[in-house]
Structure 1
Amino acid sequence: MRSSEKRRWFLGIDGGGSKTTAAVCGADGRIVALAMGEGSNPLSRPWPEVEETLRALIRDCLRQAGAAAHEVEGLFFGLAGADRPQVQTMIVNAFQAEWGERLQIDNDAVAALYSGTWGGPGIVLIAGTGSIACALTADGSRHRVGGWGYLVGDEGSGFDLGRQAVAAALRAFDGRGEATALTGMLVSHYGVDTPDQLIARLYGSPNPRRELAGAAILVDRAAAAGDAVAGRLVRQAAASLLELAETCLAKAGERLPVVLAGGLMAADTMLRRAVLELARFEAVVPAAPPVTGCLAAALMRAGRPLDAAVRKNLCRYHPEGEANGGELV
Structure 2
Amino acid sequence: MQLNNTRNWFIGIDGGGTKTEAAICDSSGSVQGRAAGDGSNPLSRPWPEVEETLRALVGEVCRQAGADPGEVQGLFLGMAGADRPEVRTRVEEAFRPSWGERLHIDNDALAALYAGTWGAPGIVLIAGTGSIAYAVTADGQRHRAGGWGYLLGDEGSGFDLGRQAVISVLRAWDGRGEPTELSELVTGHFGIDRPDQLIARVYGTSNPRKMLAEASVLVESAARAGDAVAARLIKQAAASLLELAESCRARAGSDLPVVLAGGMLAADTLLRRCLLESARFEVRRPQAAPVAGCLAAAMMRAGLPMDEQVRAGLAVLQTDGVEEDAHGGELA
1:279 counterpart letter in structure 2? A
2:157 match = 157
Query: What CA distance in whole angstroms lies between the structure 2 residues aligned with 1:327 and 1:274?
Result: 22
Query: What CA distance in whole angstroms lies between the structure 2 residues aligned with 1:221 and 1:102?
Result: 47
Query: What CA distance in whole angstroms lies between the structure 1 residues aligned with 2:224 and 2:285?
Result: 20
Cα drift, residue 133 of structure 1: 0.7
More relative contact order in 1 or in 2 (CA 8 Å, sep 6+)? 2
2:7 match = 7
1:200 match = 200
Cα drift, residue 3 of structure 1: 2.4
Query: What CA distance in whole angstroms lies between the structure 2 residues aligned with 1:5 and 1:290?
Result: 27
What is the SS of the residue equivalent to 1:171?
A: helix
2:168 counterpart letter in structure 1? A
2:170 match = 170
**Residue 242 in structure 1 maps to residue 232 in structure 2:** no
TM-score (normalised: structure 2): 0.94
Instruction: Provide, for residues 61-84 of structure 1, a one-character-per-residue CA deviation record: whole Å limited to 9, x for no partner.
Output: 111111110111111000000111
What is the SS of the residue equivalent to 1:40?
A: coil
What is the SS of the residue equivalent to 2:36?
A: strand
1:265 match = 265
Query: What CA distance in whole angstroms lies between the structure 2 residues aligned with 1:40 and 1:285?
Result: 25
What is the SS of the residue equivalent to 2:32?
A: strand
2:273 counterpart letter in structure 1? R
**Residue 315 in structure 1 maps to residue 326 in structure 2:** no
Output aligned runs, 1:43-62, within 5 Å: 43-62=43-62
2:300 match = 300
2:138 counterpart letter in structure 1? A
1:31 match = 31
1:63 counterpart letter in structure 2? R
Query: What CA distance in whole angstroms lies between the structure 2 residues aligned with 1:306 and 1:139?
Result: 18
What is the SS of the residue equivalent to 1:316?
A: coil
How many equivalent pairs are there?
Answer: 321
Output aligned runs, 1:45-124, within 5 Å: 45-124=45-124
The question of whether the paired residues in 1 share the 8 Å contact of 2:24 and 2:33 is answered with yes
Query: What CA distance in whole angstroms lies between the structure 2 residues aligned with 1:47 and 1:327?
Result: 27
Cα drift, residue 276 of structure 1: 1.1
The question of whether the paired residues in 2 share the 8 Å contact of 1:38 and 1:53 is answered with yes
Query: What CA distance in whole angstroms lies between the structure 1 residues aligned with 2:61 and 2:221?
Result: 36
**Residue 182 in structure 1 maps to residue 218 in structure 2:** no
2:289 match = 289
TM-score (normalised: structure 1): 0.95
Query: What CA distance in whole angstroms lies between the structure 2 residues aligned with 1:179 and 1:157?
Result: 24
1:231 match = 231
The question of whether the paired residues in 1 share the 8 Å contact of 2:289 and 2:319 is answered with no
Identity among equivalent positions (%) equals 66
Instruction: Provide, for residues 91-116 of structure 1, a one-character-per-residue CA deviation record: whole Å limited to 9, x for no partner.
Output: 00000011111100000000000000
Cα drift, residue 225 of structure 1: 2.0
Query: What CA distance in whole angstroms lies between the structure 2 residues aligned with 1:147 and 1:212?
Result: 17
Which segments of structure 1 move beyond 3 Å, counting only runs of 4 or more?
A: 326-329
The question of whether the paired residues in 1 share the 8 Å contact of 2:132 and 2:154 is answered with yes
Instruction: Provide, for residues 19-50 of structure 1, a one-character-per-residue CA deviation record: whole Å limited to 9, x for no partner.
Output: 11111111111211111111111001111111
1:108 counterpart letter in structure 2? D
Query: What CA distance in whole angstroms lies between the structure 2 residues aligned with 1:169 and 1:31?
Result: 47
The question of whether the paired residues in 2 share the 8 Å contact of 1:74 and 1:299 is answered with yes
What is the SS of the residue equivalent to 2:40?
A: coil
The question of whether the paired residues in 2 share the 8 Å contact of 1:11 and 1:74 is answered with yes
Cα drift, residue 219 of structure 1: 0.9
**Residue 278 in structure 1 maps to residue 278 in structure 2:** yes
Cα drift, residue 184 of structure 1: 1.1
Query: What CA distance in whole angstroms lies between the structure 2 residues aligned with 1:34 and 1:223?
Result: 37
What is the SS of the residue equivalent to 1:98?
A: helix
In structure 2, relative to structure 1, the CA distance for the partners of 1:211 and 1:327 (3 Å cut) is: closer
Q: Give the CA RMSD over aligned residues.
A: 1.3
Q: Mark the runs of 5 or more structure 1 residues left unpaired by the alignment.
A: 318-325
Query: What CA distance in whole angstroms lies between the structure 2 residues aligned with 1:327 and 1:201?
Result: 31
Query: What CA distance in whole angstroms lies between the structure 1 residues aligned with 2:270 and 2:11?
Result: 34
What is the SS of the residue equivalent to 1:36?
A: strand
Query: What CA distance in whole angstroms lies between the structure 1 residues aligned with 2:167 and 2:106?
Result: 37
What is the SS of the residue equivalent to 1:135?
A: strand
